[in-house]
Amino acid sequence: MRKAIALLAGLAILAFVNFGIWGRERLLTEGQIVLLDLAPVDPRSLMQGDYMRLNFALANQAFPFGSRREVADGKLVVAVDSHRVAAFRRLDNGAPLAPGEVALRYRIRGGRPNFGTNAFFFEEGQAQAYANARYGEFRVGSDGEMILTGLRDDRFRPLKPKR
């Protein structure tokens, strides 16, 4: 009996994990591309090892530094231009989105709003390939969930590691 319960529990855990993976894979293939303008971060910690710390201009527009402690997790609405670059419109209040608008989910962590992630990881020795990053490229689902899929330069070209 204990073996059957353990087996069922293991199968339930595997099903739950695989459902999460399936949802992320679906977001990567079906989510729309939205670019978020990168904002400067402390240059002493811009490059640390094998990742780049990210800060987005959108966070500074939507949440001025003095108001961040009063904000809870939620969504904000952005307008997307012809290059897929997002511009802040408003905090989501449940009103329907206008054409060209997208809702983005954010989470407040440590007093800072996070959009999907606050770091971009890359192979050791590839920091120079990403030094000219201007935009974070995200795939965004209809529910506002986001996955960072890459970085782009000031001409909207994807940045790739040097081989």
Residue 115 to residue 123: CA distance in whole angstroms = 22
Distances (CA, A) of 50 to 39, 70, 114, 119: 20, 33, 20, 10
Find the radius of gyration of the CA atoms of the chain. 18
- At residue 46, the pLDDT reads 47
Q: Phi and psi of 87, rounded to 5°?
A: -130, 130
Please list the pLDDT of the chain residue by residue as tens digits (163 residues). Answer: 888 888 888 888 888 888 778 877 787 788 888 999 988 664 444 445 577 888 899 988 888 765 556 678 899 999 999 999 999 999 999 899 999 999 999 998 877 888 888 888 888 778 788 888 899 999 999 999 999 999 999 999 999 887 7
Residue 56 to residue 41: CA distance in whole angstroms = 9
pTM: 0.79
User: What is the per-residue pLDDT across 80-104, written as a single tens digit (0 to 9) for each?
Assistant: 999 999 999 999 998 999 999 999 9
Q: What number of CA atoms fall less than 13 Å from residue 114's CA on the CB side?
A: 13
- At residue 143, the pLDDT reads 92
Q: Which two tokens stand for residue 90?
A: 């408003």
- At residue 66, the pLDDT reads 59
